[in-house]
Amino acid sequence: MRTPLVVGNWKMHGGIAEARELALAVRDGLKRPRGVEVVVCPPFTALPAVAEVLAGSPIGWGAQNAHWEDKGAFTGEISPVMLVELRCRLVILGHSERRHLFRETDEEINRKVAAALRHGLTPLLCVGETAEERRQGLTFTVVEGQLRAGLAGLGSPQMERCLLAYEPVWAIGTGVNATPAQAAEVHGYLRGLVSELASKEVAQSLRILYGGSVKADNAAALTQEPDIDGALVGGASLQAPGFITIARKSAAKGGPAKE
């Protein structure tokens, strides 16, 4: 049984006042979300303000990245310890913008995943192929490599505490989402891999989100696929009404969770 999860990735948008306003609107629009969990990931600088607004509400908050070290001479980095202090629930790791624009390697992402777990944070590990890789028929090879590398060295109990997101690079911020069938195919493949790496039970309980141009009008079709357990939402998470609709449309039908 997996409760769908919708995560808003606000990326590098908005100052503290805007973040507070957006968090308030999401909180007030989703007072008692049924059959769905919701988390927002503002920029680091807005985390304290967002935490203040959302504390005591059912909406969680998380971060968009974290370093693998607890502290030290790492100018410009944020450690998982700092995120725990801000009561973050999860941390997005291996986002395609980190991989492609900032050249993060699988090995670094793996260290970040392990560090997040060590500190009790839930890592949301993102994988996904570029348009060219898909054209060359390499989708499964690419996501498999990223998944195996990202989870390397972890035992089943640790993998069970992770979240995955399939985010085809060609769908992020482009307005062109993967079709439910395209996404479902990759989600099923990833779940099969987790079954192999951990166990069938872990694979059945692990939530795999889809990300890439999710909007109010495509959320329901995507998340009604049995292997799609919610959404990682970028652009559309910056407007509260649309994000709230996505959350509602991603909720499990007729109950708190889907099998």
Q: Which residues of this chain interact with ligand PEP, rule CB under 6 A?
A: 9, 95, 167, 172-173, 211-214, 232-236
From the candidates 67, 95, 129, 187, which is the catalytic residue? Answer: 95
Q: Is 100 a catalytic residue?
A: no
CB of 225 to ligand PEP, least distance (A): 17
Question: CA torsion, points 201, 211, 49, 59, in degrees to nearest 10?
Answer: -50
The residue number whose beta carbon is nearest to ligand PEP equals 234
Minimum CB distance to ligand PEP smaller for 92 or for 198 = 92
Residues 6+ apart with CB under 8 A from 135: none
CB of 186 to ligand PEP, least distance (A): 14
User: Crossing angle, helix 47-54 and helix 16-29, to 10 degrees?
Assistant: 30
Q: Are 33 and 257 in contact, with CB atoms under 8 Å apart?
A: no
Q: Are 63 and 33 in contact, with CB atoms under 8 Å apart?
A: no
- CA neighbours closer than 13 Å in the CB half-sphere of residue 98: 21
Minimum CB distance to ligand PEP smaller for 198 or for 233 = 233
Say how far apart CA 64 and CA 123 lie, in whole Å.
Answer: 10
What are 258's two structure tokens? 């889907």
CB of 163 to ligand PEP, least distance (A): 13
From the candidates 37, 97, 129, 167, which is the catalytic residue? Answer: 167
CB of 233 to ligand PEP, least distance (A): 5
Residues 6+ apart with CB under 8 A from 134: 168, 170
Minimum CB distance to ligand PEP smaller for 168 or for 202 = 168
Say how far apart CA 42 and CA 78 lie, in whole Å.
Answer: 14
What ranges make up the beta strands (E) of 167-236? 208-211, 230-233
Minimum CB distance to ligand PEP smaller for 163 or for 202 = 163
Minimum CB distance to ligand PEP smaller for 156 or for 174 = 174
CB of 70 to ligand PEP, least distance (A): 27
Q: Is 95 a catalytic residue?
A: yes
Say how far apart CA 50 and CA 100 lie, in whole Å.
Answer: 28
Residues catalogued as catalytic: 95, 167
